[in-house]
Amino acid sequence: MNRKPLGFTFNYFFVIFLHMIRIAIDTLGGDNGSAPIVDGILEFLKDNKDVSIVAVGKKEELKKLEGLCEIVDAPDIVPMEAGPLEVMRMKNSSMYKTVTLAKEGKVDAVVSSGSTGGFLSSSTLLLKTIPGVNRAAFIAPFPTKVKGHKVVILDIGASNENSAEELRQFAVMGELYSEHILGVENPKTYLLSNGTEPKKGSPVGKEAYKLLEATDSHFKGNIEARNALAGFADVVVTDGFTGNIFLKASEGMAKMMSGMIKNAFKKNLWTKLGYLHVRKGMKEMSETMDYKSTGGAMLLGVNGVVVKVHGNADCYSTYCAIRVAKKLVEKDIANKIKDGI
């Protein structure tokens, strides 16, 4: 009779001291202020007793979190367009303090919906890139035509240009992400290009093709942008500038078409009735397309787990981003990259 509670206590302590995952959340800098971020943290804590959260931001805006998580007062907001020097000087900013917690080993992961450039600079400058990684890369999972299947694309905007060797490193990081986070066995990797033949592509792309062909057993060749979401690719590698264009072109078109669909249904009573019939199908579609559920973009290649939530973060996307951060820590992605690169 005595054994059971003892075993339970032991496990409990084991979880607390060895596996309690600690995540710092920058609650400032998002388009909608700290309120939705706070709500996202509250929701996450309800479902995840094994995670300890450090909320960083304006103390007076974090009252709802008192007693539920550690609070760090850092009232300054890094401006959207801050350069690297500016961020590194803003030592009282929520962003700088958040990333510093990771640097000092006080947390395992950081999450922010603030300035992308600022978060990128502070993360790479404070946490440093993993040995063997020249450049960190933003990676994000995209929906595909194949239900439930996601393709990861990187870099979607950490760099303005990349070398062939950097693209090779992105491939390795993407494959590790696909394997360990999305559970894809033996992921298939493609290089984003303007045609499928090896001779297609930008000068750097052509060089990267040769390098990947020679070194990466997952590499299957070039892929055109129109097929990146077709479902057969697991990892799509591209330089940061092109990846950003791809991401935003897809996003823009998806938004434009959603708007047109909504208009088609809004016209009159009959079209509204029409909507009732296809509501379920439309919901499935918007779930497939919902970038919020993917937890934003992850910065791979730095010593730590860094998750960037969309600037327009709400409660749900914050929840999802913390969930992804937790998973990245559990799967020890940074160390896997260290070994794999």
- Among the listed residues 163, 183, 308, the one whose alpha carbon sits nearest the alpha carbon of residue 240: 163
Residue 311 CB, shortest distance to a copy of itself, in Å, is 12
Q: Which residues lie below 8 Å from residue 110, measured CB to CB, with a gap of 6+?
A: 23, 24, 25, 26, 98, 99, 101, 102, 123, 304, 305, 306, 307, 325
Measured from the CB atom, the residue of 19 and 272 that comes closer to a copy of itself is 272
Q: Which is nearer to a copy of itself, 15 or 257 (CB)?
A: 257
Q: How far is the CB of 328 from a copy of itself (least distance, A)?
A: 25
Cα–Cα distance, 314 to 291 (Å, whole number): 12
As measured in angstroms, the least distance from the Cβ of 144 to a copy of itself is 8
CB of 16 to a copy of itself, least distance (A): 43
Nearer to a copy of itself by C-beta: 311 or 340?
311
Q: Which is nearer to a copy of itself, 66 or 284 (CB)?
A: 284
Report, in Å, the least distance between residue 156 CB and a copy of itself: 9
9 or 202: CB nearest a copy of itself: 202
- Closer to a copy of itself at the Cβ: 20 or 146? 146
- At closest approach, how far in Å is the CB of 68 from a copy of itself? 36
Q: Of 183 and 203, which CB lies nearer to a copy of itself in the complex structure? A: 203
Q: Which residues in this chain contact a copy of itself in the complex, by CB under 8 A?
A: 81, 144-145, 157, 160-161, 192, 194, 197, 200-203, 205, 224-230, 240-242, 244-261, 263-265, 267, 270-271, 273-278, 280-282, 284-285, 288-289
Rounded least distance, CB 43 to a copy of itself, Å: 28
